[in-house]
Amino acid sequence: MILLVFAFFASTLAFPFPPYEYDCNAKLDRGIGNNHSQKFYFDKQWNNCFGFKYSGSGGSLNKFNTYTECLRACQYVDGNTCSSPFASVEPVKIAFTCKSIICPKGSECKMGMFIDCCNTTLDDWALARYDSKCPNGGAASVETVAKTCSDLLCGKGEKCIQINPYFARCCGAKETHPIKMSDEPAIDHYVAGRMFDEEYGDFLSIPFECIAISEGEIDLVETLLNAGPLTTINYGNLSEHTVGSMETANKVFDAHAAIVIHYYEDSRYYFDFDHRFRRLNDVILERRIASNGD
Protein backbone atom coordinates (compact mmCIF):
# COMPACT_ATOMS: atom_id res chain seq x y z
CA MET A 1 0.00 0.00 0.00
CA ILE A 2 2.80 2.41 0.92
CA LEU A 3 4.52 1.67 -2.37
CA LEU A 4 1.28 2.32 -4.29
CA VAL A 5 0.75 5.65 -2.53
CA PHE A 6 4.35 6.65 -3.18
CA ALA A 7 4.05 5.68 -6.83
CA PHE A 8 0.82 7.72 -7.15
CA PHE A 9 2.34 10.90 -5.72
CA ALA A 10 5.56 10.44 -7.68
CA SER A 11 3.63 10.18 -10.95
CA THR A 12 1.42 13.16 -10.01
CA LEU A 13 4.42 15.36 -9.26
CA ALA A 14 6.25 14.28 -12.40
CA PHE A 15 3.32 14.76 -14.75
CA PRO A 16 3.34 18.57 -15.08
CA PHE A 17 7.01 18.82 -15.98
CA PRO A 18 8.56 18.55 -19.45
CA PRO A 19 9.73 15.05 -20.40
CA TYR A 20 13.20 16.34 -21.28
CA GLU A 21 16.22 17.86 -19.57
CA TYR A 22 16.00 21.56 -18.75
CA ASP A 23 17.66 24.25 -16.64
CA CYS A 24 15.56 27.21 -15.52
CA ASN A 25 18.64 29.15 -14.42
CA ALA A 26 20.53 28.91 -17.71
CA LYS A 27 20.94 32.04 -19.82
CA LEU A 28 18.85 32.53 -22.92
CA ASP A 29 20.66 31.13 -25.95
CA ARG A 30 18.91 31.22 -29.32
CA GLY A 31 21.27 28.66 -30.83
CA ILE A 32 22.58 28.61 -34.38
CA GLY A 33 21.12 27.87 -37.79
CA ASN A 34 18.21 29.03 -39.91
CA ASN A 35 15.58 26.43 -38.98
CA HIS A 36 13.61 28.79 -36.75
CA SER A 37 10.87 27.66 -34.40
CA GLN A 38 8.99 29.15 -31.46
CA LYS A 39 10.43 28.18 -28.09
CA PHE A 40 10.07 29.58 -24.57
CA TYR A 41 12.52 30.38 -21.79
CA PHE A 42 12.22 31.25 -18.12
CA ASP A 43 13.21 34.75 -16.97
CA LYS A 44 14.09 34.71 -13.25
CA GLN A 45 13.73 38.47 -12.91
CA TRP A 46 10.14 38.34 -14.15
CA ASN A 47 9.37 34.90 -12.68
CA ASN A 48 7.66 34.22 -15.98
CA CYS A 49 8.25 32.68 -19.37
CA PHE A 50 8.79 34.46 -22.67
CA GLY A 51 8.88 33.36 -26.26
CA PHE A 52 12.07 33.37 -28.27
CA LYS A 53 12.97 32.44 -31.81
CA TYR A 54 15.10 29.30 -31.65
CA SER A 55 17.55 28.96 -34.54
CA GLY A 56 17.34 25.17 -34.72
CA SER A 57 20.55 23.86 -33.19
CA GLY A 58 22.49 24.23 -29.95
CA GLY A 59 21.39 26.69 -27.32
CA SER A 60 21.02 26.24 -23.57
CA LEU A 61 18.77 23.99 -21.50
CA ASN A 62 16.54 26.96 -20.69
CA LYS A 63 14.39 26.04 -23.66
CA PHE A 64 10.83 24.72 -23.65
CA ASN A 65 8.44 23.68 -26.37
CA THR A 66 5.43 25.44 -24.86
CA TYR A 67 4.70 28.31 -22.50
CA THR A 68 2.83 25.96 -20.15
CA GLU A 69 5.74 23.53 -19.89
CA CYS A 70 8.04 26.42 -19.06
CA LEU A 71 5.77 27.74 -16.30
CA ARG A 72 5.23 24.33 -14.73
CA ALA A 73 8.92 23.62 -14.64
CA CYS A 74 10.27 26.95 -13.47
CA GLN A 75 7.80 29.42 -11.99
CA TYR A 76 7.98 29.77 -8.21
CA VAL A 77 5.18 30.81 -5.87
CA ASP A 78 6.81 33.60 -3.89
CA GLY A 79 7.35 36.01 -6.76
CA ASN A 80 7.40 39.80 -6.83
CA THR A 81 4.60 41.70 -5.11
CA CYS A 82 4.50 44.18 -7.98
CA SER A 83 3.52 42.84 -11.39
CA SER A 84 6.72 44.30 -12.85
CA PRO A 85 10.09 43.52 -11.27
CA PHE A 86 11.03 47.16 -11.89
CA ALA A 87 7.92 48.74 -10.35
CA SER A 88 8.81 48.63 -6.65
CA VAL A 89 9.33 52.10 -5.13
CA GLU A 90 10.33 53.26 -1.67
CA PRO A 91 7.29 54.14 0.49
CA VAL A 92 6.93 57.58 2.03
CA LYS A 93 5.80 55.92 5.26
CA ILE A 94 6.59 52.29 6.04
CA ALA A 95 3.82 50.14 7.53
CA PHE A 96 2.63 46.55 7.65
CA THR A 97 -0.73 47.07 5.95
CA CYS A 98 -1.84 48.88 2.81
CA LYS A 99 -4.25 50.85 4.96
CA SER A 100 -1.39 52.41 6.92
CA ILE A 101 1.42 52.63 4.39
CA ILE A 102 1.91 55.84 2.40
CA CYS A 103 3.12 55.34 -1.17
CA PRO A 104 4.65 58.06 -3.38
CA LYS A 105 2.51 59.77 -6.01
CA GLY A 106 2.13 57.59 -9.08
CA SER A 107 2.29 54.36 -7.10
CA GLU A 108 -0.07 52.22 -5.08
CA CYS A 109 0.18 49.63 -2.33
CA LYS A 110 -0.09 45.96 -3.23
CA MET A 111 -0.09 42.89 -1.05
CA GLY A 112 1.67 39.67 -2.00
CA MET A 113 4.19 37.75 0.03
CA PHE A 114 5.16 41.23 1.21
CA ILE A 115 3.61 44.70 1.12
CA ASP A 116 5.10 46.97 -1.51
CA CYS A 117 4.51 50.28 -3.25
CA CYS A 118 4.28 49.69 -7.00
CA ASN A 119 4.64 52.23 -9.79
CA THR A 120 1.21 52.15 -11.45
CA THR A 121 2.44 52.80 -15.01
CA LEU A 122 5.04 50.03 -14.92
CA ASP A 123 2.60 47.65 -13.27
CA ASP A 124 -0.04 48.38 -15.90
CA TRP A 125 2.49 47.62 -18.62
CA ALA A 126 3.32 44.33 -16.93
CA LEU A 127 -0.33 43.31 -16.58
CA ALA A 128 -0.96 44.09 -20.26
CA ARG A 129 0.57 40.73 -21.20
CA TYR A 130 -2.62 39.09 -19.87
CA ASP A 131 -5.11 41.31 -21.71
CA SER A 132 -7.51 39.35 -23.90
CA LYS A 133 -7.16 41.91 -26.69
CA CYS A 134 -4.29 43.75 -28.33
CA PRO A 135 -4.24 47.54 -28.79
CA ASN A 136 -5.68 47.07 -32.29
CA GLY A 137 -8.74 45.32 -30.83
CA GLY A 138 -7.73 41.93 -32.21
CA ALA A 139 -7.58 38.78 -30.09
CA ALA A 140 -4.31 38.45 -28.18
CA SER A 141 -2.46 35.22 -27.55
CA VAL A 142 -1.61 34.82 -23.86
CA GLU A 143 1.16 32.34 -24.57
CA THR A 144 2.99 33.91 -27.49
CA VAL A 145 4.43 36.85 -25.59
CA ALA A 146 8.02 38.01 -25.96
CA LYS A 147 10.02 41.10 -25.12
CA THR A 148 10.36 42.11 -28.77
CA CYS A 149 8.75 41.10 -32.05
CA SER A 150 12.04 39.65 -33.28
CA ASP A 151 11.45 36.72 -30.91
CA LEU A 152 7.94 35.80 -32.04
CA LEU A 153 6.67 33.60 -34.84
CA CYS A 154 3.00 34.46 -35.10
CA GLY A 155 0.38 32.20 -36.65
CA LYS A 156 -1.63 32.68 -39.82
CA GLY A 157 -3.82 35.77 -39.65
CA GLU A 158 -1.78 37.18 -36.76
CA LYS A 159 0.89 39.83 -36.62
CA CYS A 160 3.26 40.90 -33.89
CA ILE A 161 2.62 44.18 -32.08
CA GLN A 162 4.95 45.76 -29.52
CA ILE A 163 2.20 46.64 -27.04
CA ASN A 164 4.48 48.54 -24.62
CA PRO A 165 8.18 48.79 -23.72
CA TYR A 166 8.01 45.42 -21.94
CA PHE A 167 6.13 43.11 -24.25
CA ALA A 168 5.38 42.10 -27.82
CA ARG A 169 2.37 39.92 -28.57
CA CYS A 170 0.85 37.97 -31.45
CA CYS A 171 -2.40 39.71 -32.31
CA GLY A 172 -5.33 38.73 -34.48
CA ALA A 173 -6.99 40.88 -37.11
CA LYS A 174 -8.07 44.39 -36.20
CA GLU A 175 -11.49 44.64 -34.62
CA THR A 176 -13.75 46.85 -36.70
CA HIS A 177 -16.66 48.90 -35.46
CA PRO A 178 -19.31 49.35 -38.15
CA ILE A 179 -20.75 52.83 -38.42
CA LYS A 180 -24.08 53.19 -36.70
CA MET A 181 -26.23 56.06 -37.96
CA SER A 182 -29.41 56.66 -36.02
CA ASP A 183 -31.68 59.58 -35.27
CA GLU A 184 -32.07 58.39 -31.69
CA PRO A 185 -28.99 56.36 -30.74
CA ALA A 186 -28.70 54.53 -27.44
CA ILE A 187 -27.68 56.79 -24.58
CA ASP A 188 -24.23 55.22 -24.27
CA HIS A 189 -23.54 56.14 -27.90
CA TYR A 190 -24.99 59.63 -27.72
CA VAL A 191 -23.62 62.91 -29.01
CA ALA A 192 -20.39 63.37 -27.09
CA GLY A 193 -21.03 67.01 -26.26
CA ARG A 194 -24.46 66.31 -24.82
CA MET A 195 -23.15 63.33 -22.88
CA PHE A 196 -20.45 65.37 -21.24
CA ASP A 197 -22.87 68.17 -20.37
CA GLU A 198 -24.97 65.64 -18.49
CA GLU A 199 -21.99 64.09 -16.76
CA TYR A 200 -19.89 67.15 -15.96
CA GLY A 201 -22.33 70.06 -16.00
CA ASP A 202 -20.86 73.03 -17.88
CA PHE A 203 -17.44 71.42 -18.31
CA LEU A 204 -18.04 71.08 -22.04
CA SER A 205 -20.50 73.73 -23.16
CA ILE A 206 -20.01 73.43 -26.93
CA PRO A 207 -21.31 70.13 -28.30
CA PHE A 208 -19.28 68.54 -31.05
CA GLU A 209 -20.06 65.74 -33.46
CA CYS A 210 -18.00 62.69 -34.15
CA ILE A 211 -18.02 59.70 -36.43
CA ALA A 212 -15.86 56.60 -36.37
CA ILE A 213 -14.80 54.32 -39.18
CA SER A 214 -12.57 51.30 -39.41
CA GLU A 215 -8.93 51.95 -40.20
CA GLY A 216 -8.30 51.73 -43.92
CA GLU A 217 -11.75 53.05 -44.84
CA ILE A 218 -10.77 56.71 -44.94
CA ASP A 219 -12.31 56.88 -48.42
CA LEU A 220 -15.71 56.69 -46.74
CA VAL A 221 -15.12 59.93 -44.87
CA GLU A 222 -16.06 62.09 -47.83
CA THR A 223 -19.37 60.25 -48.30
CA LEU A 224 -20.20 60.46 -44.62
CA LEU A 225 -19.36 64.13 -44.36
CA ASN A 226 -21.65 64.89 -47.28
CA ALA A 227 -24.46 62.92 -45.68
CA GLY A 228 -25.10 65.66 -43.15
CA PRO A 229 -24.53 65.79 -39.40
CA LEU A 230 -23.93 62.44 -37.71
CA THR A 231 -24.50 62.15 -34.00
CA THR A 232 -23.21 58.79 -32.93
CA ILE A 233 -20.53 56.16 -33.07
CA ASN A 234 -20.92 52.50 -32.25
CA TYR A 235 -18.08 52.55 -29.79
CA GLY A 236 -18.90 52.51 -26.09
CA ASN A 237 -19.76 54.65 -23.13
CA LEU A 238 -18.41 58.12 -23.82
CA SER A 239 -19.14 59.36 -20.32
CA GLU A 240 -16.09 57.52 -19.02
CA HIS A 241 -13.81 60.17 -20.53
CA THR A 242 -13.30 63.92 -20.40
CA VAL A 243 -12.48 66.61 -22.93
CA GLY A 244 -11.11 70.07 -22.33
CA SER A 245 -9.32 71.03 -25.56
CA MET A 246 -8.08 69.58 -28.82
CA GLU A 247 -4.82 68.69 -27.09
CA THR A 248 -6.67 66.45 -24.64
CA ALA A 249 -9.46 65.31 -26.92
CA ASN A 250 -7.68 61.99 -27.37
CA LYS A 251 -9.10 61.04 -23.97
CA VAL A 252 -12.57 60.92 -25.46
CA PHE A 253 -11.96 57.70 -27.32
CA ASP A 254 -9.78 54.66 -27.14
CA ALA A 255 -8.55 54.98 -30.72
CA HIS A 256 -7.21 51.45 -30.95
CA ALA A 257 -10.11 50.24 -33.06
CA ALA A 258 -11.23 53.26 -35.04
CA ILE A 259 -10.17 56.46 -36.67
CA VAL A 260 -12.24 59.14 -34.99
CA ILE A 261 -13.28 62.38 -36.65
CA HIS A 262 -13.67 65.26 -34.21
CA TYR A 263 -15.59 68.48 -34.85
CA TYR A 264 -14.54 70.55 -31.89
CA GLU A 265 -15.50 74.24 -31.91
CA ASP A 266 -14.21 75.49 -35.29
CA SER A 267 -11.50 72.88 -35.77
CA ARG A 268 -11.76 69.61 -37.68
CA TYR A 269 -9.26 66.91 -36.90
CA TYR A 270 -9.00 63.18 -37.01
CA PHE A 271 -7.26 60.97 -34.49
CA ASP A 272 -5.23 58.14 -35.95
CA PHE A 273 -3.68 54.97 -34.57
CA ASP A 274 -0.38 56.72 -33.88
CA HIS A 275 -2.13 59.01 -31.38
CA ARG A 276 -1.49 62.11 -33.42
CA PHE A 277 -3.97 64.79 -34.41
CA ARG A 278 -3.97 65.72 -38.06
CA ARG A 279 -6.05 68.19 -40.01
CA LEU A 280 -8.60 66.77 -42.40
CA ASN A 281 -8.20 67.32 -46.11
CA ASP A 282 -9.20 70.88 -47.04
CA VAL A 283 -11.43 69.65 -49.85
CA ILE A 284 -13.38 67.49 -47.42
CA LEU A 285 -13.68 70.42 -45.04
CA GLU A 286 -15.07 72.65 -47.79
CA ARG A 287 -17.63 70.03 -48.74
CA ARG A 288 -18.60 69.53 -45.12
CA ILE A 289 -19.10 73.26 -44.63
CA ALA A 290 -21.07 73.52 -47.85
CA SER A 291 -23.30 70.58 -46.96
CA ASN A 292 -24.20 72.19 -43.62
CA GLY A 293 -24.61 75.66 -45.02
CA ASP A 294 -21.93 76.95 -42.60
Strand partners, 32: 57
Mean pLDDT, the chain, as a whole number? 64
- Amino acid letter for position 168: A
CATH architecture classification, 1-76:
Irregular (4.10)
Q: Are 190 and 213 in contact (CB under 8 A)?
A: no
* 44 vs 259, residue with greater confidence: 44
Closest by Cα among 73, 66, 10, 71 to 39: 66
Q: Look at residue 1 and tell me whether its pLDDT is greater than 60.
A: no
- What percent of the chain has pLDDT above 70? 52
pLDDT in tens, 140-189: 887 889 999 999 999 888 889 999 999 999 998 765 444 333 333 322 22
Q: What is the pLDDT of residue 157?
A: 85
User: Predicted confidence band at 17 (pLDDT cuts at 50, 70, 90)?
Assistant: low
Reply yes or no on whether the pLDDT at 287 is more than 70: no
pTM for this prediction? 0.53
| Residues contacting 120, CB < 8 A, separation 6+ | 106, 107, 108
State pLDDT tens for residues 198-245: 333 322 222 333 333 333 334 444 443 443 333 333 233 332 233 333
Torsion sign (Cα): 38, 39, 42, 47 = positive
DSSP at 281: P
Q: DSSP 3-state assignment of 48?
A: strand
Q: Which range among 6-15, 168-177, 190-199, 278-287 has the greatest average pLDDT?
A: 168-177
Q: Which residue intervals of the chain bear CATH 4.10.410.10?
A: 1-76
In this predicted model, which residue has the larger pLDDT, 60 or 229?
60
Summarize pLDDT for 106-122 with one digit per residue, the tens.
999 998 778 899 999 99
CB 152 within 8 Å of CB 53:
yes
State residue 118 phi and psi, 5-degree precision: -120, 130
At residue 135, the pLDDT reads: 84
